[in-house]
A = this chain, B = another copy of it.
Amino acid sequence: MTQTPAGRRSQRATILDVAAAAGVSRQTVTRAMNDMPGIKTETRQRIQEVARELGYTPSRFAKGLVQGARTSVGLAIPDLTNPYFPAFASSVVEQATQRGWQVVMDDYGHGGRNGLDAVEHLAPHVDAVIGYLGGYAGQAQAILGRRPLIVLDEEPGSAAGAITFDYRHAAELAIGRLQGVGCSRIAYVDSVRAPEKRALEIRAPEDLNSGNRPSSAGGSAETVAHGRGADDGFVTSRGRAFAAVLEESYGGAFRCSAVAVEESASESRTAVRELLALQPGIDGIVAFNDLVASGVLKALSDAGKRVPEDCLVIGMDGIPLGEQLSPELTTLSLDLREVGRTAVELLDGLLGGTLAAGSAESRLILRHRLVVRQSA
């Protein structure tokens, strides 16, 4: 034995410690630990026993250095507590595991961090990132360099891959439904992501109560948003899509009002309660998502309105909660497991080289699907 594992300050046992203790060489220990051939069964067992006693755990760094990396993907999610994300995260983990990848996860919603912080935190440890970054696609891709980034629900910018949603199509589905049953006064309840922390408030929509505004010709479509701090009325791309489709569909005979609240049922409840007090005639409400829609249902109940008799309600994204509500929520459903699967497939293509970063094929657009239940 010319190997001298002695005299080190390291706490961890190394392969040399095991080799010395068992009276063999490094390579033999490697053979024993990794079930390789070319070693006597007796020796193998003795070495494994010694390793167990010493509490030896192979260094993942040394292993990775010599063997070449197993791929590990970072998963950045704003808030696992939001029922939208678990199905997505679960699906990503499942798909990654199937490919033998590992997933390093960051839920950046707490502690005032944002999507960029998450990517900075993940970057040193991963070969790629998938995530809802909320607008940092460009900067995040810069941090990652050549390593692929898949962003979701966001302008891709320089990101290697992206999955976005056809909100225009979703809006057409929902409004088609409401229009079909004759709704005439529709409200859209928008929402902003918590990290932005914009203090949005509802203002009295005088213009809607007191007839037409001077600026708009009598009977023309009219879209009014109540929200402070938003550069335009509808702050989200969801909201914008709805506004556009509403104008087109109801040209001439429609009024829409919108409130923007933080993404939670209780916020939504109080906001919509106030809205209903000001505009009792509303007979159809589309919500930013099912969580917000849940608050809408409560608010309608508070106001003594029955769903769907007095007012229809349509949610969005189709989280499991919707089925448990009464009335069961009609929603624009998104198969979030499919979204996760698709994201991993995209990444697989990018890592494998069959897909070019930033190419048209790496930009996918997914569609919502109308699931009709009781509320509309």
Q: Residues on A close to B: CB < 8 A?
A: 52, 55-65, 69, 72, 75, 79-81, 83, 85-87, 89-90, 93-94, 97-98, 102-111, 113, 121-122, 124-125, 145-147, 265, 294, 298, 301, 320-321, 323-326
Contacts and interface: CB of A to CB of B under 8 A. Distances in A.
Nearest to A83: B83
B60 A124 contact: yes
A93 B111 contact: no
19 contacts: A52-B145, A57-B146, A57-B147, A59-B69, A60-B124, A61-B63, A61-B69, A63-B124, A81-B87, A83-B83, A85-B86, A89-B105, A90-B110, A97-B113, A102-B104, A102-B121, A265-B324, A321-B321, A321-B324
Contacts of A60: 61, 64, 69, 124-125
B80 A294 contact: no
A124 B67 CA distance: 13
A54 to B, nearest CB: 9
A2 to B, nearest CB: 23
A58 to B, nearest CB: 8
Given A265-B323, A324-B321, A326-B301, A93 B69 contact: no
A145 B93 contact: no
Nearest to A264: B320
A301 B61 CA distance: 58
Contacts of A324: 265, 294, 298, 321, 324-325
Nearest to A322: B324
Contacts of A64: 60-61, 64
A75 B105 contact: yes
Contacts of A147: 57
3 tightest CB-CB pairs across the interface, nearest first?
A55-B146, A61-B64, A80-B90
A326 B323 contact: no
A55 B63 CA distance: 23
